[in-house]
């Protein structure tokens, strides 16, 4: 009965051919009923806040098994043949010329219906309204955001796409935004369409297609150029690749499988990975990676993909924690905290997705992706509390918690990047600590760095990419004493878990480089934002591409980079701050 009600009121507005006076009276009633019908149409509460992310049905069959493609224009299509979602800030929706959308709405949605729907929207912070049955909808993003949020409202955008995009095998999203928000908006849309599913019906389901078209407001409502379209498709592929790996359970994504993923990306890019595996890790001094993974059926590995173009002026290394499953080892997790630990490879997955997109778009500097792969398992050869391991740095570590394994594998990884790859800039990314969510929340990754300039850059890259970040305390002289050991150079877990726990975990990694290391070191803890509910987000791909966009040959990545050619001087940085303030909450 609810859908019939929506059909009736839509038809009333579409078929209204009365006099102007009667139209006004009729449309006033329709306007009220449109507002009331939104709950009926979606059969759920109107979009409210980010806290309702976990309540979404993000495993809907309509969102999986999707071929996602960005195009300059999808052309004119009727909603019945191509169900449509139009989305943007309310101000942008009101600015758009009817001539730009009518080809996708007529004849079932008239200009009058469109204007009535817009007048009924009241985003607080978001809102949506059906335009015609279950074939067309319009959704409004927040008009303002706080200074620690992305102007693109990326989290809200993902949510609205998941909840408001009509069903169908061939669907379209019309995205209205400013040029500066195109990158973050595309990544947010990509997050709404997970690739991994093992539902029995998925084998027989028809492959669905979703096409995304951008309308850039403020520039005569123009469309995107071909180079930007190519960039968005590559970036979206990277985000979805990372999410697929994180969503895949360990029986299908053990260290063998992850290495195959790395090789597949290498084959696509013409790069042969370097792989050090099993007992060779022990022989070559990688005591962290080997000690964590030696008890598992599938041996641990350190794998490296290297992009070394001619003319490079610096060397960048991305180090990813790839714990394909984390039981906690002999310090075993409980039955309530162990489920979901397939996600402990989120850092390595993000680096693989970002590396693939970065190289495809052209990367001017040397770029190495280092994957520290292991399964933290239990067995006769498992590392015990009280064991002492010598890491690749030569420093000895007394194990007092086998569930603090990520910092061990990453310490080997960052030292390899410094010693063997001669990296000038080292960034490690990991689902490292449960305390990250306490420190910076579910939506902001925690970042720590030895460089104030890069700390600021990370925060700005988070805002421009939608992969939000916030700094942790960097104060090794006060916090590193938490790892004091009587019998080794350090322990691997803190004495006091109430003393900047996430900061200390990062400092453990940095200590193996040395706190006086002259290069730039950045640590990114993505434990909470790597997933929303039971689905992976692909978090980290967009952040890396934006943060290092200054080294890309892609103008879009140059634009979103806080260290790019448009923001290298103070005045440009001030302009970026002013642009961000335009949409801030008072």
pLDDT at residue number 318 = 99
Q: Is the pLDDT of residue 233 over 70?
A: yes
Where is pLDDT greater, at 20 or 407? 407
Q: Are strands 396-398 and 208-216 parallel, antiparallel or unpaired?
A: unpaired
Both structure tokens of 175: 């995205």
By C-alpha distance, which of 435, 546, 465 is closest to 149? Answer: 465
Give per-residue pLDDT as tens, 353-368: 999 999 999 999 999 9
Determine whether domain 2-224 maps to CATH 3.30.2130.10.
no
pLDDT (average), residues 426-431: 99
pLDDT at residue number 358 = 99
356, 407, 463, 583: the active-site residue: 407
pLDDT at residue number 61 = 62
pLDDT at residue number 30 = 39
Separation between Cα atoms, residue 509 and residue 404, nearest integer Å: 12
Both structure tokens of 414: 């960052």
User: Across-strand partners of 398?
Assistant: 388, 491
Query: What pLDDT band is residue 219 in, cutting at 50, 70 and 90?
Result: low
Query: What pLDDT band is residue 582 in, cutting at 50, 70 and 90?
Result: low
Whether omega before 535 lies within 30 degrees of 0, making that bond cis, reads no
What class, spelled out in words, does domain 272-580 have in CATH?
alpha beta
Residue owning tokens 């039971």: 534
By C-alpha distance, which of 410, 375, 584, 579 is closest to 492? Answer: 410
Give per-residue pLDDT as tens, 377-402: 999 999 999 999 999 999 999 999 99
Where is pLDDT greater, at 6 or 319? 319
Both structure tokens of 328: 């906690």
Q: Is the pLDDT of residue 43 over 50?
A: no
Q: Are strands 127-132 and 136-141 parallel, antiparallel or unpaired?
A: antiparallel
pLDDT at residue number 571 = 42
SS3 string, 540-558, reads: CHHHHHHHCHHHECCHHHH
Query: What pLDDT band is residue 22 in, cutting at 50, 70 and 90?
Result: very low
Separation between Cα atoms, residue 231 and residue 210, nearest integer Å: 17
Percent of all residues in the chain with a pLDDT value above 90, rounded to a whole number: 81
pLDDT at residue number 224 = 94
Q: Are strands 388-390 and 396-398 parallel, antiparallel or unpaired?
A: antiparallel
Least confident of 47-56, 121-130, 307-316, 330-339: 47-56
pLDDT at residue number 223 = 83
Whole-number average pLDDT of the chain: 89
Cα-only R_g, the chain? 25
Least confident of 44-58, 66-80, 274-288, 431-445: 44-58
Distances (CA, A) of 418 to 371, 374, 396, 503, 506: 15, 21, 18, 22, 17
pLDDT at residue number 200 = 86
407 catalytic, yes or no? yes
Query: What pLDDT band is residue 74 in, cutting at 50, 70 and 90?
Result: confident
pLDDT at residue number 24 = 31
Is 474 in a helix, a strand, or coil? coil
Domain ranges of the chain: 2-224, 272-580
Indicate the burial class of 240 (C-beta count within 10 angstroms; 0-12, 13-18, 19 or more): buried
Separation between Cα atoms, residue 186 and residue 175, nearest integer Å: 9
Kindly provide the residue ranges of all beta strands, DSSP E only, lying in 278-357, ordered along the sequence. Answer: 301-307, 315-326
Q: Is the pLDDT of residue 312 over 70?
A: yes
Report the first-to-last Cα separation within the chain, whole angstroms.
Answer: 43
DSSP 278: T
Contact 474, 449 (CB under 8 A): yes
Separation between Cα atoms, residue 91 and residue 315, nearest integer Å: 44
7, 102, 144, 333: the active-site residue: 333
pLDDT at residue number 65 = 82
Separation between Cα atoms, residue 114 and residue 109, nearest integer Å: 7
User: pTM for this structure?
Assistant: 0.89
DSSP 343: G
Give per-residue pLDDT as tens, 499-538: 999 999 999 999 999 999 999 999 999 999 999 999 999 9
Where is pLDDT greater, at 376 or 10? 376
333 catalytic, yes or no? yes
pLDDT (average), residues 119-126: 96
Query: What pLDDT band is residue 1 in, cutting at 50, 70 and 90?
Result: very low
By C-alpha distance, which of 341, 303, 541 is closest to 429? Answer: 541
Give per-residue pLDDT as tens, 81-118: 999 999 999 999 999 999 999 999 999 999 999 999 99
Query: What pLDDT band is residue 60 in, cutting at 50, 70 and 90?
Result: low
Separation between Cα atoms, residue 170 and residue 299, nearest integer Å: 43
Give per-residue pLDDT as tens, 259-299: 999 999 999 999 999 999 999 999 999 999 999 999 999 99
């Amino acid at each position: 009965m609810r859908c019939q009600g929506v059909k009736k009121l839509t038809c009333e507005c579409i078929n209204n051919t009365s006099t102007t006076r009667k139209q006004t009276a009729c449309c006033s009633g329709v306007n009220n009923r449109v507002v009331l019908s939104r709950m009926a149409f979606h059969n759920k509460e109107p979009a409210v806040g980010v806290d309702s992310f976990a309540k979404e049905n993000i495993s809907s069959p309509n969102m999986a098994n999707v071929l996602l493609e960005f195009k300059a224009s999808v052309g004119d299509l009727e909603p019945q043949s191509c169900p449509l979602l139009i989305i943007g800030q309310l101000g942008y929706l009101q600015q758009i010329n009817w001539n730009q959308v009518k080809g996708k709405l007529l004849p079932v949605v008239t200009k009058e219906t469109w204007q009535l729907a817009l007048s009924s929207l009241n985003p607080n912070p978001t809102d949506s309204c059906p335009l015609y049955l279950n074939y067309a909808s319009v959704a409004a993003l927040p008009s303002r955001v706080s200074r620690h949020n992305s102007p693109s409202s990326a989290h809200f955008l993902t949510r609205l796409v998941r909840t408001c995009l009509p069903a169908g095998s061939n669907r379209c999203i019309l995205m209205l935004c400013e040029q500066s928000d195109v990158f973050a908006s595309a990544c947010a849309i990509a997050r709404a369409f997970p690739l991994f599913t093992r539902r029995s019906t998925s084998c027989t389901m028809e492959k669905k297609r979703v096409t995304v078209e951008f309308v850039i407001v403020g520039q005569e409502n123009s469309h995107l150029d071909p180079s930007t379209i190519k960039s968005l498709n590559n970036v979206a592929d990277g985000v979805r690749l990372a999410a697929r790996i994180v969503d895949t359970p360990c029986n299908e994504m053990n260290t063998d499988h992850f290495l195959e993923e790395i090789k597949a990306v290498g084959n696509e890019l013409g790069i042969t990975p370097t792989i050090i595996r099993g007992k060779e890790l022990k022989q070559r001094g990688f005591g962290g990676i080997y000690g964590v993974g030696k008890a598992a059926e599938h041996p641990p590995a350190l794998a490296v993909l290297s992009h070394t173009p001619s003319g490079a002026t610096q060397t960048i290394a991305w180090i990813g924690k790839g714990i394909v499953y984390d039981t906690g080892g002999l310090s075993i997790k409980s039955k309530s905290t162990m489920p979901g630990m397939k996600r402990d490879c989120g850092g390595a997955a993000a680096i693989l997705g970002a590396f693939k997109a970065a190289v495809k778009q052209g990367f001017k500097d040397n770029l190495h992706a280092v994957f520290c792969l292991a399964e933290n398992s239990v067995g006769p050869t498992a590392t015990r509390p009280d064991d002492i391991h010598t890491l690749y740095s030569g420093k000895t570590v007394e194990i007092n918690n086998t569930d603090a394994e990520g910092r061990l594998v990453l310490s080997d990884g960052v030292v390899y990047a410094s010693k063997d790859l001669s990296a000038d800039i080292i960034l490690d990314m990991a689902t490292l600590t449960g305390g990250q969510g306490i420190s910076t929340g579910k939506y902001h990754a925690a970042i720590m760095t030895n460089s104030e300039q890069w700390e600021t850059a990370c925060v700005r890259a988070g805002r421009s990419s939608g992969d939000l970040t916030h700094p942790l305390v960097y104060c090794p002289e006060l916090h590193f004493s938490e790892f004091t050991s009587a019998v080794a150079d350090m322990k691997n877990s803190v004495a006091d878990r109430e003393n900047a726990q996430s900061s200390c975990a990062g400092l453990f990694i940095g200590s193996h480089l040395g706190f006086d290391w002259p290069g730039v070191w950045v640590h990114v803890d993505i434990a909470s934002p790597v997933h929303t509910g039971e689905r992976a987000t692909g978090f980290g791909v967009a952040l890396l591409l934006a943060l290092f966009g200054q080294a890309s040959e892609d103008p879009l990545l140059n634009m979103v980079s806080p260290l790019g050619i448009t923001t290298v001087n103070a005045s440009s940085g001030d302009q970026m701050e002013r642009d961000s303030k335009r949409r801030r909450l008072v």
